[in-house]
Amino acid sequence: MTVILDGKKVSAEILAEIKAEVEKLDKKPGLTVVIAGENPASMTYVASKEKRGKELGYNSDVIRLPEDISQSELEKTIDELNQNPDINGILVQMPLPKHLDSDAIIEKICPEKDVDGFHPVNVGKLVTKTNPYAVACTPKGVIELLKRYDIDFAGQNVVIVGRSNIVGKPLAQLFMNLDATVTVAHSKTKNLPEVTRRADILVSAAGREKMITADMVKDGAIVVDVGINRNKEGKLVGDVDYENVKSKTSFITPVPGGVGPMTIAMLMQNTLEMYKKFGC
């Protein structure tokens, strides 16, 4: 029987654990999200993060900057947050307006406050297994979700479809650090179905609706869908042809309600961890 990996339920449990811990603190963790411009999707995400932080008892706020802000002005804002002892976590919402250098902005954030886990210092620490200050939230959420269902990673054949810096690459490293054997597939991979059928754990993070079909999944595989797409009807769907793939799997994530809720839960967890390491 297929088990649904319920990210909504698991994230609620994690957030409840965080809230209980925060209630015991004399000083509350500080999380600031910076957004430039008025991208509708980004504004929705930012509002959700702010709301969740406040629900947990964080000092959670948003700095909203104009679309035409200069690189130097944005970097000055980050410098001020870096120097503020009441701020434990800084997140700059991506994507930034096209005239801004996103890589330079990420590098400007103090690694000890980089709750997104994107700073090169944190990426390097992940690769070398030297305790990064934070791990990217979506990959961390995938691992935590699987752990909560007592899924073992050692010796498992993991195939990740997608090689982004945000999901594919850090997730591959996390699985390797947990003794899995990892293959990263992408748009140039030859005979993708043959590759994915080898997977004990198959993760799709490619951003293409229904690209993972039933013939690409071996019987009993664990399937994790990180994709977020809008279909023709405007409905939120993943990369996996869920209805046709589900019956072949031992575990599978739905979209929505799978990895998505875990991402915000891991952002909140990263903030608390940084508070405990550096802020209190």
- The pLDDT profile of the chain, 280 residues, written as one tens digit per residue, is 899 999 999 999 999 999 999 999 999 999 999 999 998 888 988 999 999 999 999 999 999 999 999 999 999 999 999 999 999 999 999 999 999 999 999 999 999 999 999 999 999 999 999 999 999 999 999 999 999 999 999 999 999 999 999 999 999 999 999 999 999 999 899 999 999 999 999 999 999 999 999 999 999 999 999 998 888 888 889 999 999 999 999 999 999 999 999 999 999 999 999 999 997 5
Write down the pLDDT at residue 280: 55
93 flagged as catalytic: yes
CA distance 253 to 224: 5
Report the SS3 class of residue 31.
strand
Q: Where are the beta strands (DSSP E) in the chain?
A: 3-4, 30-36, 59-65, 89-92, 157-161, 181-185, 201-204, 221-225, 229-230, 236-237, 249-252
Sheet holding 30-36, edge to edge: 59-65, 30-36, 89-92
Q: Which pLDDT value is given to residue 198?
A: 98
6, 114, 116, 200: the catalytic one is: 116
* Residue 184 CA: distances (Å) to CA of 84, 132, 157, 195, 198: 39, 22, 11, 9, 12
CA distance 130 to 121: 10
What residue ranges define each of the domains in the chain, with the CATH number in brackets? Answer: 26-111 (3.40.50.10860), 137-260 (3.40.50.720)
DSSP-based three-state secondary structure for 146: helix
- pLDDT at site 93: 96
**Length reported for the chain:** 280
Rounded to the nearest 10 degrees, the angle between the axes of helix 259-274 and helix 40-55 is 60
Predicted confidence at residue 41, as pLDDT, reads 84
pLDDT at 117: 97
Q: What is the pLDDT of residue 234?
A: 83
DSSP structure string for 42-98: HHHHHHHHHHHHHHTT-EEEEEEE-TT--HHHHHHHHHHHHH-TT--EEEEPSSPPT
From 28, 49, 108, 169, active-site residue: 49
Q: Give the active site residue among 6, 93, 114, 239.
A: 93
141 closest CA partner among 32, 49, 270, 249? 270
Distance from C-alpha of 233 to C-alpha of 106, rounded to nearest angstrom: 35
